[in-house]
């Protein structure tokens, strides 16, 4: 089994040998066990091309620990998709930076399971949702995220359809 230096969920450094083998720190492993995520995610064999993500979350929880560390229930998908990471320090919120961008990207992917949609919308989601969350944290309903994505996709389709129609009309 591979050794992980950072938690696959929150991207924090792992110091415990058992946590490194598991890929999750004690807090993340216990939170994931409580919400069923450990059974849902086969992260060792994560195949983006055939991945169907169905994490049974009703909301995304963002909290601060005793030392202001970030505690979330959001899986860190970017690492498994072998994408570059916005933030070397993991997820963050309350401003428009690299940590909030990473958080937004992972929430959008968790909600829709589509990297193309994720790449199209996560920066706007960061500005509209993640940057506005107070330092202490908060919760975002998964349904609200899914509705937001659907609305954005609908707007995107109308704009693209109009642009393509205008473009083909100009060439006639």
Report pLDDT for 28. 75
pTM of the entire structure?
A: 0.62
Distances from the Cα of 157 to the Cαs of 2, 54, 165, in angstroms? Answer: 43, 25, 12
DSSP for 59-102, written as a single string? EEEEEE-TTS-EEES---HHHHTTPPPS-TT----SSSSHHHHH
Distance CA 62, CA 74 (A): 9
Max CA pair span of the chain: 67
The tokens of 97 are what? 């930076």
Distance CA 49, CA 47 (A): 6
Report pLDDT for 62. 93
Neighbours of 82 (CB within 10 A): 8
Report pLDDT for 169. 55
Report pLDDT for 56. 58
Distance CA 4, CA 17 (A): 9
- Please tell me what DSSP assigns to residue 39: H
Interhelix angle 98-112/142-171, rounded to 10 degrees, is: 90
pLDDT string in tens for the chain (172-residue length): 456 777 777 778 888 888 777 777 877 776 665 444 444 443 444 444 444 444 457 899 999 988 888 888 888 876 555 566 666 678 899 999 999 999 999 999 999 988 889 989 999 999 999 999 999 999 999 999 999 999 999 887 777 666 666 555 554 4
């Amino acid at each position: 089994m591979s050794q992980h230096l950072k938690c696959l969920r929150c991207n924090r450094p792992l110091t415990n040998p058992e946590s490194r083998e598991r890929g999750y720190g004690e807090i993340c492993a216990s939170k994931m066990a409580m919400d069923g995520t450990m059974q849902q995610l086969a992260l060792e064999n994560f195949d983006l091309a055939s991945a169907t993500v169905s994490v049974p979350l009703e909301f995304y929880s963002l909290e601060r620990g005793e030392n202001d560390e970030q505690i979330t229930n959001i899986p860190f998908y970017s690492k498994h998709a072998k994408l570059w990471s916005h933030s070397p320090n993991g997820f963050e919120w309350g401003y428009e930076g690299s940590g909030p961008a990473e958080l937004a990207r992972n929430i959008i992917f968790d909600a829709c399971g589509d990297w193309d949609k994720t790449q199209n919308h996560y920066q706007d989601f960061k500005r509209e949702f993640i940057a506005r969350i107070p330092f202490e944290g908060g919760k975002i309903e998964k349904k609200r995220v899914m509705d937001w994505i659907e609305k954005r996709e609908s707007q995107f389709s109308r704009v693209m359809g109009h642009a393509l129609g205008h473009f083909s009309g100009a060439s006639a």
